[in-house]
Amino acid sequence: MKHHSGRVEVICGSMFSGKTEELIRRARRAMIAKQKVQVFKPVIDTRYSVERVTSHNGQDFEAIPVPTAQDIWGQLEKDTTVVAIDEAQFFDFGVVAIVESLAKRGLRVIIAGLDMDFRAEPFGPMPVLLCLADDVQKLHAICMVCGEDASRTQRLVNGSPARYDDPIIMVGASESYEARCREHHSVPGKENG
């Protein structure tokens, strides 16, 4: 079943907010509706499985790992009507043109990714994708310090907050990251932070 028009849906938030879980939920619902779904993820995300997207609570879905956004074209099947892209913040800015092109072809594109890096700054192509989206859902986790809603990702190095000048990309899970609220998020070395 083909869609009448394409659309772009972005699911964003901090780590542990349920972004991948929501992407999987939407992909499964599309399959129930007899849509042809393909899920893509960056090849660097090998935390749980190479050929699956997996949420922190263990839900998973078959996925195609690709080294760059451009590689999506080579894997895209003719009858696909829904394309889901997990961990979109790890892709280059070429993902923006690909997403726009897919939507113009009438496909539904579901994107999940961190909107901010551990510094609480816009992450990769996500800000542009948020602007171009037809629908945006920002999810929140629970702050590991106070239990309030968390919108930030706290990177930890030996149990202490990572410094501002640490590398932006470091794939990890609960051993390296925590969800934090604005008040309890800390980035030593960041001006005004």
What DSSP string runs through 66-92? ESSGGGHHHH--TT--EEEESSGGGS-
Q: Whole-angstrom Cα distance, residue 132 to residue 80?
A: 21
**87 an active-site residue?**
yes
Give the total number of structural domains in the chain.
1
Q: What is the DSSP letter of 163?
A: P
Q: Decide: helix, strand or coil at residue 54.
A: strand
Examine residue 188 and state whether it is found in any structural domain, yes or no.
no
Q: Would you say residue 174 has pLDDT above 70?
A: no
What mean pLDDT is predicted for residues 156-180? 85
Quickly state the pLDDT bin for 41 (edges 50, 70, 90): very high
Examine residue 77 and state whether it is found in any structural domain, yes or no.
yes
- Catalytic residue, chosen from 62, 87, 178, 191, is 87
Give the domain extent around 69.
7-140
pLDDT at 62: 87
Per-residue pLDDT reduced to its tens digit, 104-126? 999 999 999 999 999 999 999 99
In the block, tokens 């997990």 appear at 86
SS3 helix, strand, coil % of the chain, rounded to 5? Answer: 20, 30, 50
Examine residue 170 and state whether it is found in any structural domain, yes or no.
no
Q: Would you say residue 3 has pLDDT above 80?
A: no
Q: Would you say residue 48 has pLDDT above 70?
A: no
Assign residue 66 the CATH number of its domain: 3.40.50.300
Examine residue 191 and state whether it is found in any structural domain, yes or no.
no
Examine residue 193 and state whether it is found in any structural domain, yes or no.
no
Q: Whole-angstrom Cα distance, residue 171 to residue 176?
A: 9
